[in-house]
Amino acid sequence: MNFEDSLKLFSHNAFCDSHPKEDYYELSTRVVADYAKGIPLALNILGSFLRTKEKSEWDSALRKLRKYPNADIQQVLRLSYDALDDDEKNILLDIACFFHDHEMKKITRILKSCGFYADIGIKSLLDKSLVSIYSNGRDECIKMHSLIQEMCRKIIHEESSKNGGRQIRLWNTEEVCNIFQNERDIYGVESMIVDMNEITIDPRIIIIALRKMPKLRLLALRGNINMDLEGNRVLVEDFQLPNDLRYIEWDKCPLKFVRSIPWPQKLVQLSMPDSNVQKLWDTPQNLPSLEIIDLRGCKRLIECPNLAGATNLKLISLYGCESLQDVHPSIFSLPKIQNLYVNFCTSLKRLCSGYCSPSLCTLWAIGCCNLEEFSIPIMSDHSNLTLILPSTALTEVPSTIMHLKNLEWFGFNISYSLQKLPLNFASKISLKDPIKHEDDTCIMLSRILPTPAFLSLKQLSFFECKSLSKLPDNIHVLQSLQLLHLQSCHVITSLPKSIKNLQQLMGLVIMDCKMLQYVPPLPPSIIYFKALNCKSLETLSSLTSEPPRQHNAWFAFHNCTKLDDDAYEAVLKDLKSRIELVANNDGYSHNEANNDSPFFYYYLPSKESIINEWFPDYYSREASIIVEVAPDHKISSCLVGCILISQYQSFNFGVKKVIFGWKCYLGKGCNEWEWIATSANRGRLTGSNRPKIVLKMVSDHKVVWYDGEPSNKIMEAIKERKRDSSCNTMLKFEFYANIEDNEEVVIKGCGIRWMHVHVNHEGQISPDATHEGYESHDVERQRTENPKKSIFASWFQRLLEVSSLTSEPPRKHNAWFGFHNCTKLDDDAYDAVLEDFKSRIKLVANNDGYSHNEANNGNIFFYYYLPSKESIINEWFPDYYSREASIIVEVAPDHKISSCLVGCILISQYQSCKLVEKEVIFGWKCYLGKGCNEWEWITTFDTRKLLTGSCYVPDDVIDQLEMVSDHKVVWYHGEPSKKITEAIKERRKGTSCNTMLKFEFYANTEDNEEVVIKGCGIRWMHVHVNHQGEISPDATHDVESQRTENQRKSGFTSWFQRLLCYKANTEEEI
């Protein structure tokens, strides 16, 4: 990191501000420059360490670091470690060597049992940035930076050396094998992890040696042992577990039966998933500290142990124990039992007990296909219970639960017996396919829904209802329903229109319903709607049946790639309606006193042809954008932002929470920017927190959102700026997105759009674009009014293939190629155009790497006019792109820039003049930024061409040559490009500020009628021709090389990159 960013990060940790305190500035700069050296981890650690300390303590810490003149990051980290108390040091070392990436609750529970003050200790480590928290989709986990883990392990080895080579913590399997092979002292070992797949000694040595480790607290044996241990008499007789053990993790344990040895009484958690065990013990064990037993996947387990002596047991998981036929009744009598999981115990026939502990709050028995009897006497006052019993052999709701009320969650198969359940039986009910198909499933539901338990229902879910072809029309009777959830109901094609009458419905989640095609208007109470992996979904007539009632809302359409244009229109209509809802009569949309910061977002597949017409007024193919606001421009606080999220991510996007937003800065001149506001939003875009649900993105997606409070702050900052200066206001928006554990989300583009909102007497909303040059909403009407397609125009559209523009490399610098209305050109045709473009740049390139030499080459110009194909042409051009007719470019002082400047304009299909038979004058004017909205003209490029290529067209075919799509003009012009390069070089001699350039693009016909430009862009290419005549163009900004790297990581190389592959030299990077 550079010094400025390093100082900000350090200050954030040390002072909770973006700048140091005034009297700490010099000390802070010393820390950043001399010791942190731009390393983010060191900045976090040192900042957190020095927070709240006096100046004298800062001096002392820096003197300590000064002992190491070439201090590396380890010394910086060690300073923070040395300041910990003994308890905190032990907790940190246990996490580094045993609990890295484990659940926070588990770590806290087990370390507390070891006598550590785990709660306050872990909080202290978090405050000092020595550990961090992330979510795995369900639980909060603790992780540690690899450098901190390395430091901790180095400390352990140092202490071991001082102690005669005796180690307290073992984690390296090779080291473990050496210790046992050389019979070194293992008496003091407190924690040990062994990967049994990697051991080089007899595994029995390790198992028998456990009895020689009386101080062992934490044990993890992982992996398979491909050896029969049952017949080994020595092992069976000598096997003994240390009594100090708090945690045992023995995956794939090969023992069928652990004989009746005394199990450690201090044991807190026993985890033996996927083991060979058939039973644990014959006689009851006294295990007063045991809280968790995990026997998931023990397919040979035939007998559940008597757990009467585990009086503190809270959770037992028997998930997937396929041979288990019975659950010991002692479990239901335990005074602290909370959770019992017997899912997919396919041999389980009964769940019976004479008593049920009031502490029981969760019992899951999904997929127990032979479960025929459920006889557990649950008391009538036993509320907040979760009882999940679908996909069993139970055909009717058990009589022992018919009297219950206020259950948290009840799951069962669709059955007429549900009609007998009482009012307020459960707040949430989940249903699966019927066991007995007495009637059509929809008919059964139509009779079940108008019954007491469902009339008071808050949440209703349908899971894997493969026989449910539709929901009943009378679903509207559920007037208390707040959430409706459908998952993997594959034959449902639409939802009933009566759903709009569910007046309390706030959420609708539809996941993996593969045949769903239509969603009707939703009730105005809706706050969030998520359609995930609904690959056939096409139609949304409207998101809400009436204007919405809520300021805040979330709508997601993950992988719904078949949504039609009307569906996108429904989304846009909802966006406008919600802006109307928060709009005040003065035309502005946010009033803190009344609206409490409105926020709403829409997440949906990127459809360039539609979404780019909504958003933005400004658009960039990078993650930042600079906006110029004229002094006389009226701007509202209705600022809508959007980001384009790449399909290719390095993590499972479906289960992660995403933090996304923008930071906005106000230009102060000479590359100085002052922060104004941040829009920071945190949410699970896909709406699923279930890691097993596969929600891999199948296309790029866009997030479009409105955030009231930061938008209002920007408006106020602009007003303040206008009072103080007549200069145009410059704003810079930096967009970001990352998941909760700070892994970066790949952003392919970003944009903003302001809308000035005014509500008239009829309640109609009128959003005005930010700039006068922005395309009018009338374009959409023109599109519907001018659907002319003639036979003559169709003939041009049938042109499909262009194999090559020239049979050999071109011999001329200057050239003109036009493909008017050739809308069916395939990708290979665009390849051919690009190949020709490359060849002509190669033709004019000199060996010094620059493309123009006036003495030899004259004024070089060539252009290409062809239909706009967003998926391809936007990958050629540009480094910078705007959805208007002008663009501002910032050039760093150390950036090497060439004179190969390529320009492009996007010409709208809809023009007020005929382009046929008319010459079009097009080009750009380039200005150099002088500060405070002063721009100095550098050069102008313009040319005059017949884009359609014909000076005479018969009257009867002029109309037939009307444009049938937007077209792009892409060109290179040598002389003005050279002038811009010289101006930048001259500018760099006089200042260290970044060079600001403004390009104003224009196009008009020969009789001065304006040609509508929908977008413009530029791209510089530094050109070098090697001895083999090969050309290598380098992108203007480092951002481009990052984009290439991201795509290469994902296994995808874009169409453009296959043709113009390059490797940027480090001296050319920003």
pLDDT tens digits, one per residue of 926-984? 999 887 778 899 998 888 777 775 554 455 555 557 788 888 999 888 888 888 888 88
Q: Of 67, 64, 10, whose CA–CA distance to 37 is shortest?
A: 10
**Residue 169 · residue 190 · CB < 8 Å:** yes
Mean pLDDT, residues 1041-1063? 33
pLDDT attached to residue 553: 86
The predicted structure's pLDDT at residue 296: 95
Q: What is the mean pLDDT of residues 475-500?
A: 94
**Which among 213, 221, 45 has a CA at the least distance from the CA of 129?**
45
Cα gap 37→3, rounded to integer Å = 8
Average pLDDT value for the chain: 79
Q: How many other β-carbons are positioned within 10 Å of the β-carbon of residue 739?
A: 21
Residue 99 confidence (pLDDT) above 60: yes
For residues 376 and 327, give the distance between their C-alpha atoms in angstroms, rounded to a whole number: 12
Pick the CATH number of 86-157 from 1.10.10.10, 3.40.640.10, 3.20.20.370, 3.30.830.10: 1.10.10.10
Whole-number Å distance between alpha carbons of 991 and 983? 13
Count of alpha carbons within 13 angstroms of residue 823, beta-carbon side? 14
Q: By mean pLDDT, which of 295-304, 334-343, 578-587, 822-831 is the weakest?
A: 578-587
- pLDDT-derived band at 672, boundaries 50, 70, 90: confident
Q: Which of 107-111, 813-817, 971-975 has the lowest mean pLDDT?
A: 813-817
Mean pLDDT of the region 910-934? 82
Query: What does the pLDDT read at residue 653?
Result: 67
Q: What is the pLDDT of residue 781?
A: 30
Q: Which of the pair, 556 or 1, is modelled with greater confidence? A: 556
Predicted pLDDT at 1042: 37
End-to-end CA distance of the chain: 12
* pTM exceeds 0.75 for this model: no
172-201 average pLDDT score? 90
Higher pLDDT, residue 46 or 172 = 172
Q: Which of 264-268, 429-433, 790-794 has the least mean pLDDT?
A: 790-794
> Band of the pLDDT at 770, cuts 50, 70, 90?
very low
Lowest-confidence range among 132-136, 295-299, 308-312, 329-333? 132-136
Which residue, 331, 409, 417, 312, is CA-closest to 364?
Answer: 409
pLDDT digits (tens, 9 = 90+) for 753-765: 877 655 444 544 4
**Strand, coil or helix: 530:** strand
Q: Long-range contacts: 569-573, Cβ < 8 Å, 24+? A: 570/540, 570/541, 570/542, 570/543, 571/540, 571/543, 571/602, 571/604, 572/614, 573/542, 573/543
In this model, does residue 462 exceed pLDDT 70?
yes
User: Could you report the per-residue pLDDT of 352-395, keeping only the tens digit for each?
Assistant: 999 999 999 999 999 999 999 999 999 888 878 999 999 999 99
For the four alpha carbons of 733, 739, 741 and 742, in that order, the dihedral sign comes to negative
Average of pLDDT values for 92-103?
A: 93
The secondary element (H helix, E strand) that includes residue 639 is strand 639-645
Average pLDDT over residues 300-322: 93
> Lowest-pLDDT range, 110-124, 314-328, 688-702, 775-789?
775-789
Residue 38's pLDDT is what?
56
Cα angle for residues 629, 630, 631 (degrees, 5° grid) = 120
> With the C-alpha atoms ordered 992, 845, 1030, 622, is the resulting torsion angle positive or negative?
positive
Residue 583 has pLDDT above 70, yes or no: no
Phi and psi for 236 in degrees, rounded to 5? -60, -40
Closest CA to 663 of 685, 649, 681, 638: 681
Determine if residue 233 is left, alpha or beta; phi over 0 gives left, psi from -120 to 50 gives alpha, anything else beta: alpha
Give CA–CA dist 193/202, Å, rounded: 16
| The two three-digit tokens of residue 911, written as one number | 């023009």
**Predicted local distance difference test score (pLDDT) of residue 896:** 62
Residues 6 or more apart whose CB falls under 8 angstroms from that of 62 comprise 27, 30, 31, 35
pLDDT digits (tens, 9 = 90+) for 625-661: 888 887 666 655 678 899 999 888 877 666 677 889 9
| Rounded average pLDDT over 668-684 | 82
Given pLDDT bands bounded at 50, 70 and 90, which one contains residue 852? very low
What is the residue extent of each domain of the chain? 3-82, 86-157, 576-774, 864-1068
The whole-number pLDDT of residue 773 equals 30
Burial of 85 (0-12, 13-18, 19+ CB in 10 A): exposed
CA 945 vs CA 117, 830, 885, 942: distances in Å: 79, 22, 19, 10
* CA–CA dist 451, 417 (Å, integer): 11
Q: Say which residue the tokens 């950036």 belong to.
A: 895
| Cβ neighbours of 896 (radius 10 Å) | 15
Question: Are 451 and 421 contacting, i.e. CB atoms less than 8 angstroms apart?
Answer: yes
**Residue owning tokens 């018919």:** 402
CB 592, CB 712: distance < 8 Å? yes
Is pLDDT of 769 > 60? no
**pLDDT band for position 784 (cuts 50, 70, 90):** very low
Report the distance separating Cα 973 and Cα 857, nearest Å: 12
Largest alpha-carbon pair distance within the chain? 105
Which pLDDT does position 765 carry in this prediction? 43
Query: Which pLDDT value is given to residue 489?
Result: 94
What is the number of H-type helices and E-type strands within the chain? 27, 42
Does residue 235 have a pLDDT over 60? no
What is the C-alpha separation between 996 and 671, in angstroms, rounded? 9
Tally of residues, the chain: 1070
Over residues 482-507, the mean pLDDT reads 94
User: Strand pairing partners for 429?
Assistant: 410, 460
Given a cut of 60, is residue 797 above it in pLDDT? no
- The tokens for 895 are 């950036």
pLDDT at 1008 over 80: yes
| pLDDT tens digits for range 394-408 | 999 999 999 999 999
Question: Is the pLDDT at 317 greater than 90, yes or no?
Answer: yes
- Gap between the Cα atoms of 476 and 865, Å rounded: 56
* Three-class secondary structure of residue 659 per DSSP: strand
Nearest CA-CA partner of 1018 in 929, 906, 910: 906
Q: How confident is the model at residue 1041 (pLDDT cuts 50, 70, 90)?
A: very low
